[in-house]
Amino acid sequence: MPMPHYPVSCSAPGCPQPAAFKVAARWNDGITHELKTYSLACLNCLGTLFASALVKSAACRLAPGEALETPGIYELHRGGRDKTLKRRADLEGPSARRPEVECPDSSDPHPC
């Protein structure tokens, strides 16, 4: 019996929007590799959550033999495994062209 689908929400505090992106970095220990997830983000909160991931990654201490790449932005799609997610390098970095999106409620405390 297949599991029912459930909505994946943005990780930003107070944001009710569905997540469209995964902010993650490739990690490996020489044997196993995976995406280390920092957050799931809607388009409105993507810039803030990506910047937070860069700060967290820079402070991360690794054990001998571990490697952690710089965080990236990946498109989420239902049922997709980490290795099938498309990286969106065009949305990363200070020169990334993110659409200007206003928060639905400017009094909302979530970081858009």
36-74 pLDDT, tens digit per residue, is: 999 999 999 999 999 999 999 999 899 999 999 999 999
pTM of full prediction above 0.85: no
The boundaries of the domain holding residue 37 are 21-91
- The answer to whether residue 48 sits within a structural domain is yes
- The answer to whether residue 86 sits within a structural domain is yes
The three-state secondary structure class of 53 is: helix
> Following DSSP, what letter does each residue of 76-98 receive, concatenated?
--TT--GGGPPB-GGG-STT--P
- The answer to whether residue 97 sits within a structural domain is no
Interval 18-31 mean pLDDT = 95
How does DSSP classify residue 87?
B
Q: Give which of 6, 33, 34 is closest to 22, Cα–Cα.
A: 34
Structure-token pair, residue 103:
């928060």
- Counting the structural domains of the chain, the total is 1
